[in-house]
């Protein structure tokens, strides 16, 4: 019996719905079984490249060279570079996860997670660049575990799921903003050859004259004292958590 018009329409609709679902790399099989090559080995090699030489060094051809195989052989395991970058991110995220039970105190728990996040980005500064790329599926399985743990850390503050999300986001945004500046500052210092006594490059005669002109009295005050901002992660985190604590009246 031939298909009815309704049956054909239903099949077409189902096919269209499936094609609209994003093709996530974690939902696909890892590929062949050559002992020398695996998805895990590819991702590990890519992470080592990113850590040692930066994200620009990570390419299918370069990773293949590090593994001693042809570039085409990697496509058996990873279809495109974007998948490789997404897998790199999710592979290092377990470094953030707190093993065992979270501290009972919400401040201690969320502070511990924020510190671990900062440390892992400093170990893998290429994360900063990837965090701004909208075409990557950042929420892999390990990322979900991290989000779940962060929400658990603040679960004692409020029963409102939306508020929990906002609290976690506020802490995460502070951490990310601080560490992005920290990583960028390190890279700028390396490129410009700046010393510890002049991290902002303001010791240049041009800036000295400009600051001494009287146009920047507040900046002159901090510059003359050798004060540089963005050095105290814990202080900013304390200010943020104090505000959250006042909002929810939890000691």
Asked which of 18-27, 33-42, 112-121, 173-182 is least confident by mean pLDDT, the reply is: 18-27
Delimiting residues of CATH 1.10.10.60 domain(s) in the chain = 20-79
Asked which of 11-15, 86-90, 194-198 is least confident by mean pLDDT, the reply is: 11-15
Phi, psi (deg, nearest 5) at residue 225: -95, 0
Which residue, 99, 146, 108, is CA-closest to 127? Answer: 146
Distance CA 108, CA 106 (A): 5
pLDDT of residue 22: 55
In our burial notation (b when 16+ CB lie closer than 10 A, e otherwise), range 9-19 reads: eeeeeeeeeee
94-248, which class in CATH?
mainly alpha
Asked which of 7-11, 63-67, 73-77, 134-138 is least confident by mean pLDDT, the reply is: 7-11
Q: Alpha carbon of 211 to those of 78, 192, 198, 204, 221: distances in Å?
A: 54, 21, 15, 11, 9
Which residue, 141, 153, 127, is CA-closest to 94? Answer: 141
Across 56-162, the runs of DSSP E, i.e. the strands, are none
Which residue, 208, 204, 180, 205, is CA-closest to 193? Answer: 204
Whether domain 20-79 has CATH 1.10.10.60: the reply is yes
Predicted TM-score (pTM) of this structure: 0.76
| Averaged pLDDT, 56-67 | 94
Delimiting residues of CATH 1.10.357.10 domain(s) in the chain = 94-248
């Amino acid at each position: 019996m031939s298909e009815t018009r309704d049956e054909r329409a239903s099949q077409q609709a189902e096919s269209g719905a499936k094609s609209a679902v994003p093709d996530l790399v974690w939902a696909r099989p890892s590929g062949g079984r050559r002992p020398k090559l695996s998805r895990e080995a590819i991702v590990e090699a890519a992470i080592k490249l990113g850590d040692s030489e930066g994200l620009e060094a990570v390419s299918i051809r370069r990773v293949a060279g590090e593994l001693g195989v042809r570039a085409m052989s990697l496509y058996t395991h990873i279809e495109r570079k974007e998948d490789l970058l997404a897998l790199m991110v999710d592979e290092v995220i377990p470094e953030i996860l707190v093993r065992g039970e979270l501290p009972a105190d919400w401040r201690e728990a969320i502070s511990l997670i924020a510190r671990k996040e900062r440390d892992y980005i400093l170990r893998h500064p290429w994360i900063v660049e990837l965090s701004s790329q909208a075409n990557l599926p950042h929420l892999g399985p390990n990322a979900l575990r991290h989000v779940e743990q962060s929400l658990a850390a603040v679960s004692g503050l409020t029963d409102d799921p939306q508020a929990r999300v906002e609290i976690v986001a506020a802490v995460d945004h502070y951490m990310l903003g601080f560490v992005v500046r920290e990583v960028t500052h390190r890279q700028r210092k390396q490129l410009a050859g700046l010393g510890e006594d002049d991290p902002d490059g303001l010791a240049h005669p041009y800036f000295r004259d400009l600051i001494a002109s009287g146009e920047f009295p507040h900046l002159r005050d901090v510059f003359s004292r050798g004060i540089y901002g963005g050095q105290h992660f814990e202080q900013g985190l304390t200010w943020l958590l104090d505000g959250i604590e006042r909002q929810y009246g939890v000691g």
